[in-house]
């Protein structure tokens, strides 16, 4: 890097333009330090983002070369019934994640904040599944959900009956995935909420209690309002995150049974890997970009607010 | 109990019978939650120690009836774990070096040096945080192919420097170092480069440690992306290899499968338990923005 600078300083100094020299002296190091990052960001982030738009108008062929096909890829997307199934599944998955998962870390954060001893143990325990490699979890949970696995053993010994086909029943498959992911991921959100709950001044509760506020009133009027901006931010992040989900759907069920867990992002992956049509996959990415772009603007606004 | 010691509940609340009962129920629920977090981990390890007939028996036992330590021998030799482990560590090491070099200098520059049009340059980096990665997943793959990087470790190493989140993390850290140190060094005649190498880098070892944990967990976890860009078996990182040859395996005995999963699970758990403090702090630094 220092060589860049020497090379750039040499000719400039000889040119003898005073202004350029002062600018260079002022900004030279700053720009030189930014140069490698700028190159890498352009090459590996901005270039693919921009290329995506171009690829979406091409038929990608590794052997015969790419061919411009106009809007054909987009026509394929809109006429493929699987796309609509995938959109519906993705919305269903996002809704399930909100209903089954979003409140869990908030409730446990408030609960654990009230524990006086061994709080650290519960924190570590809740975060533990986050550090297990996801491929291990895929193997583990396939067995957990097995018709002869431990969950079904529990159900049949408690209630009798047949047990539940968690993964092969189209009614249950998506719910099972969401349950697994909630179990795996709620710990990290919980720790963030917990820090926020613990930072609420204790004397607010004291004052509220003296004024006769009950426990639920204290939670409703003090704890939750204090968490509001964090809850909002987590909500937006979760919506953005869940709208792009495909890995567990792919790894555990490959989109099945009967396309019940085929999400939009998984269909992108399938178009690229098994249907070998990367142009259509790129077009689906562009469409997703347009929809999520609106959400990203919301996230950006919230982020700015949080910084202030 | 002073008013600072209380939480939502006061000591007075806990003396009332109804509240007390509710508090105990809450403790039980939290305890069950913790148990349900630990149970699958232990179950994986214990299943790896059972003989194959016992793993497949219904209803499943928690503890093995006979302890088959030999399973782990067989698990170790089932696939070339050392090769895949080496690949994972290669990816981790290279990613870490590139992140520190590229993002360390860039964040130092944005935080401490004179840069023209600073706002626009920051936008150039930070806007990428708000573009969902799945939308350019396939173009990203095609781009790496166009650059001729497929099946090469450079396909991991070089893009590792294109991470706006880490850049933000480092920049915020450098913003927090007091300006006087650098001014003093400059008066003593230090150049910008030696300010960076001799002051900024040593001071930022804790933030690099946090970064290392993020980079490690990505390298250890990621299975899908490597399976797209690496084509030779001998180039797969551990997670991808486990997915392809263990999770998807049809003929593999269940107890051996669990023994392999245990072997893969233990190192990150050990790292977590040792560096707990760093990890949880890193989570607070990064969680909301990530």
Q: DSSP labels for A119-169?
A: HHHHHHHHHHHHHS-HHHHHHHHHHHTSTTSHHHHHHHHHH-S----TTTS
Residues from chain B that touch A232, judged by Cβ atoms under 8 A, are none
> How near does any CA of chain A get to the CA of B49, in Å?
15
Q: Decide the pairing of beta strands A67-68 and A58-59.
A: antiparallel
Q: What is the per-residue pLDDT for B140?
A: 93
Burial class (CB in 10 A: 0-12, 13-18, 19+), A132: buried
Q: What is the DSSP string of B179-232?
A: HHHHHHHHHTT--HHHHIIIIIHHHTHHHHHHHHHHHHHHHHH--HHHHHH--S
What secondary structure letter does DSSP report for B4?
A: T
Closest among B130, B105, B80 to B237, alpha carbons compared: B80
SS3 category, A290: helix
CA dihedral A131, B42, A248, B245 (to 10 degrees): 100
Whether the CB of B227 is below 8 Å from some CB of chain A: the reply is no
What is the pLDDT at residue A305? 67
Residue A250's nearest CA partner among A240, A238, A262 is A262
What is the residue whose two structure tokens read 């995938």? A86
Q: In angstroms, what separates the C-alpha of B64 from chain A's closest C-alpha?
A: 14
What ipTM was predicted for this assembly?
Answer: 0.85
Q: What is the pLDDT of residue A82?
A: 92
**What SS3 class is residue A58?**
strand
pLDDT for the residue B183: 83
Q: How many Cα atoms sit within 13 Å of B262 on the Cβ side? A: 24
**The pLDDT value given to residue A16:** 56
Distances (CA, A) of A171 to A89, A177, A192, A258: 12, 12, 33, 11
- A59 in contact with B, Cβ within 8 Å: no
Q: What is the pLDDT of residue B285?
A: 67
Interchain proximity A131–B272, CB inside 8 Å: yes
Q: Does B150 touch chain A (CB under 8 A)?
A: no
* Domain B78-282 classification at class level: mainly alpha
- Yes or no, beta carbons of A153 and B60 under 8 Å apart: yes
Task: Calculate how close chain A gets to B198, using CA atoms only, in Å.
Answer: 15
Q: In whole angstroms, how far apart are CA B195 and each of A112, A144, B112, B113, B187?
A: 45, 55, 10, 11, 11
pLDDT tens, per residue, chain A with 308 residues? 344 444 444 454 455 567 888 888 788 888 889 999 999 999 999 999 999 999 999 888 888 888 888 888 899 899 999 999 999 999 999 999 999 999 999 999 999 998 888 888 898 888 888 888 999 999 999 888 888 888 888 888 888 777 788 888 888 999 999 999 999 888 888 988 998 898 888 889 888 888 888 889 999 999 999 999 889 888 988 988 899 999 989 988 888 788 899 999 999 999 998 888 899 999 999 999 998 887 777 777 777 765 54
Q: Which residues of B touch A193 (CB under 8 A)?
A: none
Closest residue to A125, CB basis, from B34, B136, B264 = B34
Tell me the C-alpha distance between B236 and B252, whole Å.
20
Residue whose entry in the numeric block shows the structure tokens 């609340």:
B13
Taking the CA atoms of chain B, what radius of gyration do you get in angstroms?
Answer: 25
A68 three-state secondary structure: strand
pLDDT score at B1: 42
Assign residue B64 a region (left: φ > 0; alpha: ψ between -120 and 50; beta: otherwise): beta
Measure Cα distances from A170 to A99, A150, A162, A242, A253 in Å: 19, 21, 17, 20, 11
Cα A56 to Cα A282: distance, rounded to the nearest angstrom? 5
Rg of chain A over all Cα atoms, to the nearest angstrom:
26
Residue of B nearest to A148 (CA): B58
**What is the Cα–Cα distance from B188 to B181, expressed in whole angstroms?**
11
Are residues B157 and B98 in contact, defined by beta-carbon separation less than 8 angstroms?
yes
3-state secondary structure of B62: coil
**CB pairs < 8 Å spanning A and B:** 305
Domain ranges of chain B: 3-74, 78-282
Give the span between the Cα atoms of A161 and A122, in whole angstroms.
35
Strands (E), chain B: none
CB contact under 8 A, A40 and B158: yes
- Pairwise CB contact (< 8 Å): B37 & A129: yes
**Using CA atoms, how far apart are residues A150 and A148, in angstroms rounded to an integer?**
7
Residues of B in contact with A243 (CB under 8 A): 132
Token pair belonging to A154: 């529990």
Query: What is the predicted pLDDT for the residue at A159?
Result: 82
Q: Which residues of chain B have pLDDT under 50?
A: 1-3, 288-290
Q: Does B83 touch chain A (CB under 8 A)?
A: no
Return the DSSP state at B252. Answer: S
Q: What are phi and psi of A293, to 5 degrees?
A: -55, -40
- Pair of tokens at residue B171: 């920049």
pLDDT for A306 equals 59
Closest-CA residue of chain A to B195 = A29
A96 contacts chain B (CB < 8 A): no
Residue recorded with tokens 């930070």: B126
Mark yes or no for CB contact A191/B280 under 8 Å: yes
């Amino acid at each position: 890097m220092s060589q860049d600078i020497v090379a750039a300083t040499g000719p400039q100094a000889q040119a003898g333009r005073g202004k350029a020299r002062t600018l260079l002296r002022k900004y030279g190091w700053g720009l030189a330090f930014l140069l490698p990052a700028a190159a890498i960001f352009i090459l590996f982030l901005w270039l693919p983002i921009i290329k995506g738009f171009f690829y979406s108008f091409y038929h990608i062929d590794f052997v015969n070369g790419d061919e411009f096909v106009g809007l054909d890829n987009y026509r394929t997307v809109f006429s493929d019934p699987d796309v609509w199934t995938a959109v519906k599944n993705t919305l269903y998955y996002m809704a399930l994640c909100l209903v089954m998962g979003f409140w869990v870390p908030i409730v446990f954060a408030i609960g654990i904040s009230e524990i006086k001893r061994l709080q650290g143990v519960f924190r570590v325990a809740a975060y533990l599944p986050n550090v297990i490699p996801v491929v291990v979890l895929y193997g583990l949970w396939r067995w957990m959900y097995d018709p002869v696995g431990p969950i079904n053993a529990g159900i049949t010994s408690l209630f009798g009956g047949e047990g539940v086909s968690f993964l092969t029943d189209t009614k249950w498959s998506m719910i099972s995935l969401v349950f697994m992911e909630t179990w795996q991921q709620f710990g990290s959100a919980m720790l963030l909420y917990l820090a926020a709950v613990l930072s609420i001044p204790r004397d607010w509760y004291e004052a509220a209690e003296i004024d006769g506020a009950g426990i639920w009133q204290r939670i409703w009027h003090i704890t939750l309002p204090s968490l509001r901006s964090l809850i909002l931010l987590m909500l937006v992040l979760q919506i953005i995150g869940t709208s792009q989900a495909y890995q567990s759907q792919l790894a555990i069920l490959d989109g099945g049974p009967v396309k019940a867990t085929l999400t939009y992002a998984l269909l992108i992956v399938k178009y690229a890997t098994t249907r070998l049509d990367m142009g259509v996959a790129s077009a689906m990415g562009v469409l997703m970009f347009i929809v999520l772009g609106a959400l990203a603007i919301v996230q950006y606004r919230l982020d700015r607010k949080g910084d202030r | 109990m002073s008013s600072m010691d209380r939480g939502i509940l006061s000591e007075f609340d806990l003396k009332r019978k109804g509240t007390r009962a509710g508090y105990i129920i809450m403790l039980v629920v939290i305890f069950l939650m913790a148990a349900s977090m630990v149970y699958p981990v232990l179950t994986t390890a214990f299943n790896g120690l059972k003989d194959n007939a016992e793993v497949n028996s219904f209803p499943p036992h928690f503890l093995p009836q006979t302890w088959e330590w030999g399973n782990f021998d067989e698990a170790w030799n089932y696939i070339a774990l050392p090769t895949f482990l080496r690949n994972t560590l290669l990816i981790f090491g290279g990613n870490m070096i590139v992140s520190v070099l590229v993002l360390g200098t860039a964040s130092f520059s944005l935080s401490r040096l004179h840069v023209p049009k600073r706002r626009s340059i920051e936008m150039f980096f930070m806007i990428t945080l708000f573009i969902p990665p799945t939308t350019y997943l396939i173009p990203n793959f095609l781009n790496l192919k166009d650059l001729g990087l497929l099946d090469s470790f450079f396909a991991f190493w070089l893009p590792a420097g294109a991470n706006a989140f880490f850049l933000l993390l480092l920049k915020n850290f450098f913003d927090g170092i007091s300006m006087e140190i650098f001014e003093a060094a400059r008066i003593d005649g230090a150049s910008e480069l030696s300010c960076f190498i001799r002051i900024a880098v040593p001071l930022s070892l804790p933030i690099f440690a946090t970064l290392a944990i993020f980079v490690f967990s990505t390298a250890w976890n990621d299975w899908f992306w490597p399976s797209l860009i690496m084509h030779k078996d001998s180039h797969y990182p551990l997670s991808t290899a486990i997915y392809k040859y263990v999770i998807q395996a049809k003929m593999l005995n269940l107890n051996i499968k669990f023994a392999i999963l245990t072997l893969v699970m233990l190192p990150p758990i050990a790292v977590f338990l040792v560096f707990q403090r760093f990890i949880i702090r890193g989570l607070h630094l990064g969680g909301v923005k990530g």
